Chains A and B, each alone.
Chain A
């Protein structure tokens, strides 16, 4: 052997230091604390957000109303009006805002991870234009703006889910590469935007107003039924995403080939979890209209705080997205009170600059 070959680059490894794995576990515990802290903060923010509005309601009033609502008790006559405002108007809207934000943010994390691209959002595969077209079609066919909300919700949900199913079936049958999938999403977005524009062009004054109003994402008409349905979808989806978070890590960080070599069924995982992501997005869009940016910014904020590991990122992104939409709704209700700015508009005003700030200040945020 020559001199270069005999000089070993590294000595044999020393016996395992016991401290290092403990450090790793402590870091995991720290991240769980962050998630716990975020949950407490979210609960406080929800209560505070209920107090905001034209009818003066205090922090303790909210706690009392929730206590009465859940555990029952006698409702004092002088508290009846505040109780009605809290439980029938404010609570459903703040809860729907929070849940919708959480759903979009989790959906964004899934899409970004599975498509291995930090710039995609829940709407990348054409979910929101398809939903908007479905709602617009129902409004146009009915020819009135006095439609039951269930009709537009149904129209939006059916078209957005059908389009997503079409994309996913095509992707799995043709074994599409990620780039092809993204291009398909762009094409579908263009097609459905054009279709909606065509409907708007032919619409009457009344229906045109209804179509345009629908596209402003808002939680103004939130009901307990909306909260229950969207909430149930999120509560079912979150544990499923957490169960697969390890496999999601493998695909997002190591790529398809390496993930397969780690024993991950990449094809099934990708189609299954993208399916879940588009269902989350489609349900939110159908109930609230188009709320952009949360699905893009929510995941990035969460990633900056808690890191990219999906085991912690998924729950934390639910909190960050929920809080973002909660704050946006609170701002929308106060900025030109008593008028209410739809949350979809406010969140773009808050999320846009925030995103620009993230891009410009953290070079690693998008790497």
Chain B
């Protein structure tokens, strides 16, 4: 197992955000982290990235507990791509990507560091834009520069926090395909927090559904994405189909073009809303 998260718990003050989260992502696997707003996706990604310190629980990479690593060592093992990277100062794409080498070099980047940077830029298809200023890039290009930065960091684990949320369809698909390709080629473990269920089903090998700080399901897209769970988590009446071997999730529409949401879900005859108290959001239980 490459990335292994065990009993990870995180609190903001007295509010519990993550409650004993446990899951594994194998090497070469691309795992989607799903869940509604406020379910703790972003917090989980940041806790694994070392941005937040968890209250308890362990994160291991290739068998090494990351809590035993120093800051720089940790940064050489786990890479993180934030949702967006708004810099208040202008810098070129190359300058932005070399930031990923921060945990690797001393005072100045070496020839090898620059080679890694150039390689990451080429992989992300930014070769012609390396000298451009970041502020001139489109949203999709800027997002690819952030991923290139994480690639230059050369880590065993790649974490992405909703990198596709602000992108148009083409860049969403390109980004996901690139990450999947890199994951397979490099044999790294990738975890992506994402909102689009169908993208997750199509491009990821594994799906973890987070709800109120708990993991509800964890498995292949077919195993993890079933209609009752999704209705329960998102409070939207959905139907799940298998289309050409890929799971597809759609809101169920009645003859008036209306989809049941929120508390209306309870009136469904086939809702299967089996409400185990343990599944109730931690935030609600307090």
- Measured CB to CB, the nearest residue on chain B to A12 is B185
Given the interface pairs A9-B177, A264-B71, the reply to whether A117 lies near B88 with Cβ below 8 Å is yes
Residues of B within 8 A of A259 (CB): 102
Stretch of B32-40, B108-116, B190-198, B214-222 with 4 or more beta carbons under 8 angstroms from chain A: B108-116
Does the CB pair A250–B99 fall under 8 Å?
A: yes
Q: From residue A33, how far is it (CB to closest CB) to chain B in Å?
A: 15
User: In the complex, what distance in Å separates the CA atom of A246 from the CA atom of B99?
Assistant: 8
B93-118 vs A, CB cutoff 8 Å, 1 = contact: the mask equals 01110011011010111010011011
The answer to whether A311 has its CB under 8 Å from any CB of chain B is yes
Does the CB pair B111–A262 fall under 8 Å?
A: no
User: In the complex, what distance in Å separates the CA atom of A24 from the CA atom of B178?
Assistant: 26
Stretch of A40-48, A155-163, A301-309 with 4 or more beta carbons under 8 angstroms from chain B: A301-309
Select B91's contact among A17, A118, A263, A307, beta carbons within 8 Å: A307
Q: List 11 A-B contacts (CB under 8 A).
A: A5-B202, A9-B174, A10-B124, A16-B118, A20-B130, A249-B99, A252-B87, A254-B96, A255-B86, A262-B103, A263-B72
Residues of B within 8 A of A5 (CB): 177, 202-203
Does the CB pair A10–B88 fall under 8 Å?
A: no
- Measured CB to CB, the nearest residue on chain B to A5 is B202
Does the CB pair A258–B80 fall under 8 Å?
A: yes
- Residue among B82, B90, B107 with most chain A CB within 10 A: B90
Given the interface pairs A10-B123, A262-B103, the reply to whether A252 lies near B75 with Cβ below 8 Å is no
Given the interface pairs A262-B75, A309-B95, the reply to whether A250 lies near B102 with Cβ below 8 Å is yes
Given the interface pairs A8-B181, A21-B111, A311-B108, the reply to whether A253 lies near B102 with Cβ below 8 Å is no
The answer to whether B231 has its CB under 8 Å from any CB of chain A is no
User: In the complex, what distance in Å separates the CA atom of A89 from the CA atom of B80?
Assistant: 57
- Measured CB to CB, the nearest residue on chain B to A308 is B89
The answer to whether B259 has its CB under 8 Å from any CB of chain A is no
Residues of B within 8 A of A72 (CB): none
Q: From residue A34, how far is it (CB to closest CB) to chain B in Å?
A: 16
Q: How many residues of B contact A (CB 8 A)?
A: 59
Select B178's contact among A9, A118, A258, A367, beta carbons within 8 Å: A9
User: In the complex, what distance in Å separates the CA atom of A8 from the CA atom of B184?
Assistant: 13
Does the CB pair B107–A257 fall under 8 Å?
A: no
User: In the complex, what distance in Å separates the CA atom of A259 from the CA atom of B82?
Assistant: 11
Residues of B within 8 A of A249 (CB): 99, 102
Q: From residue A197, how far is it (CB to closest CB) to chain B in Å?
A: 33
Q: From residue B117, how far is it (CB to closest CB) to chain A in Å?
A: 7
User: In the complex, what distance in Å separates the CA atom of A263 from the CA atom of B70?
Assistant: 8
- Measured CB to CB, the nearest residue on chain B to A113 is B89
Interface majority SS (helix, strand, loop, mixed), chain B: helix
The answer to whether B78 has its CB under 8 Å from any CB of chain A is yes
Select B99's contact among A14, A254, A364, A367, beta carbons within 8 Å: A254
- Residue among A5, A116, A254, A307 with most chain B CB within 10 A: A254
8 Å CB contacts to B: which residues of A1-60?
Answer: 2, 4-5, 8-10, 12-14, 16-17, 20-22, 24-25, 28
Stretch of B22-30, B46-54, B278-286 with 4 or more beta carbons under 8 angstroms from chain A: B46-54
User: In the complex, what distance in Å separates the CA atom of A355 from the CA atom of B112?
Assistant: 39
Does the CB pair A261–B90 fall under 8 Å?
A: no
Select A2's contact among B86, B89, B103, B244, beta carbons within 8 Å: B244
B59-71 vs A, CB cutoff 8 Å, 1 = contact: the mask equals 0000000000011
Does the CB pair B99–A264 fall under 8 Å?
A: no
Does the CB pair A261–B80 fall under 8 Å?
A: yes
Given the interface pairs A253-B96, A254-B99, A261-B51, the reply to whether A309 lies near B91 with Cβ below 8 Å is yes
A235-273 vs B, CB cutoff 8 Å, 1 = contact: the mask equals 000000011011101101111011111111100000000
Top 3 closest pairs, chain A to chain B, by CB: A263-B75, A21-B114, A261-B80
Does the CB pair A17–B51 fall under 8 Å?
A: no
Range of interface residues on A (Cβ < 8 Å): 35 or more
User: In the complex, what distance in Å separates the CA atom of A13 from the CA atom of B186?
Assistant: 12
Does the CB pair A253–B125 fall under 8 Å?
A: no
Does the CB pair B96–A262 fall under 8 Å?
A: no
User: In the complex, what distance in Å separates the CA atom of A248 from the CA atom of B227?
Assistant: 48
User: In the complex, what distance in Å separates the CA atom of A117 from the CA atom of B78?
Assistant: 28
Residues of B within 8 A of A9 (CB): 125, 173-174, 177-178
Residues of B within 8 A of A25 (CB): 111, 114
The answer to whether B16 has its CB under 8 Å from any CB of chain A is no
The answer to whether B85 has its CB under 8 Å from any CB of chain A is yes
Does the CB pair B75–A261 fall under 8 Å?
A: yes
User: In the complex, what distance in Å separates the CA atom of A208 from the CA atom of B122?
Assistant: 66
Q: From residue B250, how far is it (CB to closest CB) to chain A in Å?
A: 17
User: In the complex, what distance in Å separates the CA atom of A252 from the CA atom of B86?
Assistant: 10
Select B177's contact among A8, A116, A250, beta carbons within 8 Å: A8
Does the CB pair A4–B135 fall under 8 Å?
A: no
- Residue among B73, B118, B178 with most chain A CB within 10 A: B118
Q: From residue B34, how far is it (CB to closest CB) to chain A in Å?
A: 19
Does the CB pair A257–B82 fall under 8 Å?
A: yes
Known contacts A113-B89, A246-B102, A262-B99; 9 additional CB pairs below 8 A are A4-B173, A8-B177, A9-B177, A10-B181, A246-B105, A254-B149, A255-B86, A261-B50, A364-B90
- Residue among B79, B88, B173 with most chain A CB within 10 A: B88
- Measured CB to CB, the nearest residue on chain B to A303 is B89
Residues of B within 8 A of A309 (CB): 91, 95
Q: From residue A6, how far is it (CB to closest CB) to chain B in Å?
A: 10
Residues of A within 8 A of B95 (CB): 253, 307-309
Does the CB pair A257–B89 fall under 8 Å?
A: no
Given the interface pairs A9-B178, A17-B118, the reply to whether A260 lies near B50 with Cβ below 8 Å is yes
Does the CB pair B111–A367 fall under 8 Å?
A: no
